[in-house]
C-alpha cells in the first residue's frame, strides 16, 4: 500500500506522515518512509537524532550517483542522458533504519530547466516510480504540495492520498487544487484530514467547502506536538490524542485496500 501525504506548507504533513509510519511499524507492517518535501524534517519527527548521528544526505545531492546513473553531470544543460536510470538498489544502499522502519530522504524535486529533463529530476522521477509501482511494502510519502512532479502512471499507483488541511482559506484553496489534480490523475482513494482545529465551527466550514464525505479525520490543536518539536522528541511518544485519529485513518485505508 502506498500512502501519499500532501497539503499546504505548515499544515502538519510531516507530523501526520511520522505518526502514520510509526503506527504501521508498530502494527508489524514493513514500512518505508520517504521524505520528498524540499523542507523536510521527517527523520527528526520519526525519532532520528541528527545532532548525534549526523545529517542524512538527500538522494538529490549525491552528484556522483546522479552522473553514474544518468550519464550526465548534475546541473548540466543540453546533451544526452538516461531518462529511466536504474534505481532498484538505492533503498538498500542509502535508506537508514529508524524505529522499526526504513527511511529515505530524496531532497528537492527540481523542475526541468531549459525545456529539458535535468539529470537529477530524471533520477528522482524513476526512483518515485519504482517506489510506487514496483515495491510491495507500505510506503508513506511525505510530499510537497501538489502532484505535478509525479508521472501519471506513478500517481495512479498511489493507494491513498491524504490531504492535510488547517483552518484557513489558503489551506482550503490548496486542498481544492490538489484534489482536482488527483482526480485528473485518476487517484481513486482521496480524503482530507483537518489538523490544528480549535472549534466545531471550523470543522463545519471546511467540511462544507471540501465535502463531508471525503473527511477522514479531525485533529484538535495540540500543544504536545509543539513541546515535542522543541524538545526533539519523537511525536509518536508524545501525541496520544493525534494517534487515535491516525489509527482511524489507517483502518479506513486498509478497508479500501
- Which has more confidence, 88 or 155? 88
Mean pLDDT along residues 75-103: 87
Count of domains for the chain: 1
User: How much is the pLDDT for 22?
Assistant: 95
With cut-offs at 50, 70 and 90, classify the pLDDT of residue 153.
low
Burial of 174 (0-12, 13-18, 19+ CB in 10 A): buried
- Which has more confidence, 29 or 235? 29
Which CATH number does the domain housing residue 98 bear? Answer: 3.40.50.300
With cut-offs at 50, 70 and 90, classify the pLDDT of residue 115.
very low
C-alpha cell at 196: 490544528
Q: Where is 62: in which H helix or E strand?
A: none
Q: Is the pLDDT of residue 112 over 60?
A: no
What is the phi/psi pair of residue 165, to 5°?
-125, 140
Q: Is the pLDDT of residue 187 over 80?
A: yes
Start-to-end CA distance of the chain, whole Å, equals 7
Mean pLDDT along residues 59-85: 82
Q: Is the pLDDT of residue 163 over 90?
A: yes
Q: Is the pLDDT of residue 248 over 60?
A: yes
Taking alpha carbons only, the member of 179, 196, 199 closest to residue 187 is 179
Domain range for 204: 2-256
Best-predicted range by mean pLDDT among 150-159, 172-181, 239-248? 172-181
Question: Which of 59-73, 85-99, 106-120, 148-162 is the least confident region?
Answer: 106-120
User: How much is the pLDDT for 162?
Assistant: 95
Strand intervals (E) in the chain: 2-7, 31-35, 96-98, 101-105, 138-142, 160-165, 190-197, 215-220
Q: Is the pLDDT of residue 247 over 90?
A: yes
The rounded mean pLDDT for the chain is: 87
Evaluate whether 12 touches 195 at the Cβ level (below 8 Å).
yes
With cut-offs at 50, 70 and 90, classify the pLDDT of residue 108.
low
With cut-offs at 50, 70 and 90, classify the pLDDT of residue 150.
low
User: How much is the pLDDT for 41?
Assistant: 87
pLDDT tens digits for 11-30?
999 999 999 999 999 999 99
Find the farthest-apart pair of alpha carbons in the chain and give their distance in angstroms, rounded: 57
- Which has more confidence, 110 or 153? 153
With cut-offs at 50, 70 and 90, classify the pLDDT of residue 110.
low
Cβ contacts of 57-63, under 8 Å, gap ≥ 24: 57/105, 58/105, 58/106, 58/107, 58/108, 59/90, 59/94, 59/104, 59/105, 59/106, 59/107, 59/123, 59/124, 59/127, 60/106, 60/107, 60/108, 60/109, 60/110, 60/120, 60/123, 60/124, 61/107, 62/94
Q: Is the pLDDT of residue 137 over 60?
A: yes
Distances (CA, A) of 147 to 37, 140, 177: 12, 15, 10
User: How much is the pLDDT for 113?
Assistant: 41
Amino acid at each position: 500500500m502506498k500512502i501519499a501525504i500532501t497539503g499546504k506548507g505548515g499544515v502538519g504533513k510531516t507530523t501526520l506522515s511520522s505518526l502514520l509510519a510509526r503506527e504501521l511499524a508498530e502494527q508489524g507492517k514493513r514500512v518505508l518512509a520517504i521524505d520528498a518535501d524540499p523542507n523536510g524534517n521527517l527523520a527528526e519527527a520519526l525519532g532520528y537524532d541528527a545532532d548525534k548521528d549526523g545529517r542524512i544526505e538527500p538522494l538529490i545531492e549525491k552528484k556522483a550517483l546522479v552522473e553514474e546513473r544518468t550519464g550526465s553531470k548534475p546541473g548540466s544543460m543540453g546533451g544526452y542522458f538516461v531518462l529511466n536510470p536504474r534505481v532498484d538498489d538505492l533503498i538498500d544502499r542509502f535508506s537508514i533504519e529508524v524505529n522499526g522502519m526504513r527511511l529515505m530522504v530524496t531532497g528537492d524535486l527540481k523542475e526541468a530547466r531549459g525545456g529539458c529533463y535535468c539529470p537529477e529530476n530524471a533520477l528522482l522521477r524513476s526512483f518515485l516510480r519504482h517506489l510506487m509501482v514496483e515495491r510491495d511494502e507500505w510506503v508513506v510519502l511525505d510530499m510537497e504540495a501538489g502532484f505535478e512532479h509525479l508521472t501519471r502512471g506513478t500517481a495512479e499507483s498511489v493507494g491513498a492520498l491524504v490531504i492535510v488541511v488547517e483552518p484557513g482559506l489558503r489551506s482550503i484553496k490548496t486542498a481544492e487544487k490538489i484534489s482536482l489534480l488527483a482526480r485528473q490523475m485518476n487517484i481513486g482513494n482521496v480524503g482530507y484530514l483537518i489538523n490544528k482545529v480549535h472549534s466545531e465551527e471550523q470543522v463545519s466550514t471546511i467540511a462544507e467547502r471540501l465535502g463531508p464525505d471525503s473527511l477522514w479525520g479531525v485533529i484538535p490543536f495540540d500543544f504536545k506536538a509543539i513541546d515535542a518539536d522543541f524538545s526533539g522528541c519523537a511525536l509518536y511518544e508524545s501525541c496520544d490524542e493525534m494517534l487515535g485519529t491516525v489509527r482511524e485513518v489507517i483502518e479506513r485505508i486498509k478497508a479500501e485496500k
